[in-house]
Amino acid sequence: MTIRFDGKVAIVTGAGNGLGRCHALALAERGAKVVVNDLGGARDGSGASSDAAKDVVATIEAAGGEAIAHGANVAVMSEVEDMVKQAMDTWGRVDILINNAGILRDKSFSKMSLDDFKLVMDVHLMGSVNCSKAVWEIMKGQEYGRIVMTTSSSGMYGNFGQSNYGAAKMAVLGFMNTLGLEGAKYNVRVNALSPTAATRMTEDLLPKEILDMLVPEAVTAGALTLCHDDSPSRMILCAGGGGYASSRIFETEGVYLPQEEQTPEGVIANWQAINDTSKQSPLEAGSKQTEKFLGKAMEYLQSKG
């Protein structure tokens, strides 16, 4: 089986450097027409330049592909809408969106300004929201769409000094889960990629011999897996250094406590059973938790006759 994207139009945000650049080049190599989005700022979000995006477009065109550059700031909806309009005016459709753009403003929470917290949330979370919103009705109308969020182990598991980044990266998973449900009947599938790669984001954090193993191409293989015709939906794929894993949120089976035991003391007394992982399972939607708890309550009432 060979994965191809012939006839597909893809938007990749933050595609001037690093992972985004690698995603854009790989999509183009496999037949996609690509909107190369990049504000061209530093990794802390400051500054702007269109040079990096134009260089990626030139590379794609030199190889016989089709691409356009757009410098939209993903945190500004009017700029995102203009980017999507250019894609539609040029090619008439948008099939794939990879929300890759991001910045870092790392500090311990004690030392972090709220401005730095908000800016990181705006770029990672609202950037993903803005871009997804701008293509959502297009994809529904086509009855075809593939959206990839970029999450992080820092969001799922925490990382010292990254409360802003971690909050944003966990938030995109909640966004993904709901969009996946809402897009299902329109063949719009939404997934998340959790990458580890040697990029501007990681160059100061890891030793060179490790960075040399963390090539972006290994992560891009995962990204393309999440946006082809037969992709899953609502999956978190972790990729880096040749390693691939999935991450899922599981919930224990839990217990039902009768009303007289619904106290902090009652909860603590049943702590072992509450934390028992032997029957844990992923839930398909938030409503499934409610169904489970109501089911337990009904079973209890029936047992009392």
Of 80, 102, 213, the residue nearest 168 (C-alpha): 102
Widest Cα–Cα separation across the chain: 76
256 is catalytic: no
How many alpha carbons fall within 13 Å on the CB side of residue 133? Answer: 16
Q: What is the DSSP string of 81-144?
A: HHHHHHHHHHHS---EEE--------B-TTT--HHHHHHHHIIIIIHHHHHHHHHHHHHHHHT-
Which residues in the chain belong to E strands, given as ranges?
Answer: 9-12, 33-37, 67-70, 96-98, 145-150, 188-196, 236-240, 243-247, 250-251, 281-282
C-alpha–C-alpha distance, residues 116 and 36, integer Å: 26
Phi-psi region of 198 (alpha: psi -120 to 50; beta: other; left: phi over 0): beta
- Could you say which of 165, 186, 244, 300 is catalytic? 165
End-to-end CA distance of the chain: 58
Please give the positions annotated as active site: 165
